[in-house]
Structure 1
């Protein structure tokens, strides 16, 4: 007989099951019953935490975003740090980007939200993580802090996401270098 899960372990199992359902079936075919079956639990256990599928989807996305935080590289230069982070995202996050954009399109339409609403850096802790990378570059004198708007900070990552969504495959390395060298770095120096 399997051990009964409680607390954080149960919540993690439920959110992992919800994410797996989203990744495999998309939002249009996502059901609370499928999550219950996948998690091996009962409907009251799930509904006690999330009364409807939209709340469960939101919780599953925040959960996976927090779990999938990447380490922030420290190569000694802004160029090296941004390229290393883009390469890691490119190598490991194509499915995440695809699910967040393509599989959840129906969710955004039904709830009147957007991917930005689900991936709020303040909620997922991404802003603080990437902020360290830029703070180090300012401290090293590589960039001018007044040029670091939130849009500029997100630009290399937004361009990579666009590339991933137009190809549904990792971007070639020369594309990553072009994003950093010809688009991003000239804006911050």
Structure 2
């Protein structure tokens, strides 16, 4: 069974360029061949600012949007976040989506395709990596930064430079190693969650 990789479009604002970047990476991941890639758009879940009455670790979700988001995240073996940088940090939409859940993220590797101006979104990536470790995720060092990305977009589609492809290959190769290595922990974790749910 192929490992499932979710490429998550982190920005939800009107006029965003994230979908063009994410579509390219998702297609590239398919060509790479080691993952079953799934493109996930945060905008499709329409998550309000966190509004669940109980702590996410309890998984006692009240709202349909949370249940749908939980199901999506729990089905993945690895994640790539396609993110811009807002004021030296990640977009609020990404932080909000991360905070909606807790245990669903555990024992998965995470990579980043970041874009923006001169920094290529790297400062947002560094901030987000610290947060991911709280969820027992493994943020890997390899990534795909895209500084000054805007000239490489044409009609919403990315015209990738060769360095994007080289970086994406290195990141996917490393993510696959971690996803395979963590597979046993993910299986044990999911079995434990099912047992707790049945006992509740």
CA radius of gyration, larger in? 1
Normalized per residue, which structure has more strand? 2
TM over 0.5: no
TM-score interval, normalised by the smaller of the two chains: under 0.3
